[in-house]
Structure 1
């Protein structure tokens, strides 16, 4: 402490220095977060195992949250009895609210053609752009891309057993770069826009 007539060596009060320190630390954390870039998390999705989110729930959430576009490549997508598969109904609902929905199904001249055809017709009649792959090549991929950001990639076919009974595995990625890579792959399918 200085003499009464001498100036204080710390011109600002202590609370002011605490505020400046807090502000500097906060800015440093924000700059570090910006420089690190967005963190991407992968979520494992398993068909019927109790410790993982069910595929149908995750796919439905992603489809319902889509605002601009949905792209699906699927080996097998079948009617559920005499009704369309519930995930196809979700795609049609997305199309009706203005989301661009494109679906490529396998039509390679083999047994899946007869099973895929009824749901393919239903989808086309409900505002979904349908692409039938080349008859001399099997499309065995199972991937859904939502809004050029979310990717649901795995082994699930859109059949009752594929979604609810089989031991299947998929990964949900929040990764726009991977989504663009997958969409570039899709663009090589004849008829893809």
Structure 2
């Protein structure tokens, strides 16, 4: 009787183990690369070092210390009825050095880091406006991490509008060689 009970329990558990194994394998196939990237941690990226091909970083999980931001071109606002609208994220223009030129990409900053980003924008403006060489970095920076990806259509439109309004041409905005403002964030 005890042997019969052991066999029934083992058979019942065996089916659960098989189903759990199939589910685990399926999730591994679907999400395995993302999980491996997350477990491995982000690769460090230095935006002001010369980078041969920023586009090769597409989809990479990276971390970087940001100490130069130009301005913001978009913000995400959360609106709840009866409450004041709240900014939940802003997207800033960030320079990336390449051997041939400086290019610019977007950087999405969560609400918790907007004050840090604004301090960086102010410090960058002081640096760009320095005519007599007296500028000294005030120590403003923030560490961010995330995945480098193409902008969605709505964000890309805001990106383009910002630069067109600033007097740049569509030839400067895009993914082709020679474009200065790449729609990546």
TM (norm. structure 2) is: 0.30
Which of these two proteins has the greater Rg computed from alpha carbons? 1
TM (norm. structure 1) is: 0.30
Q: Which has the higher contact order (CA 8 A, sep 6+)?
A: 1
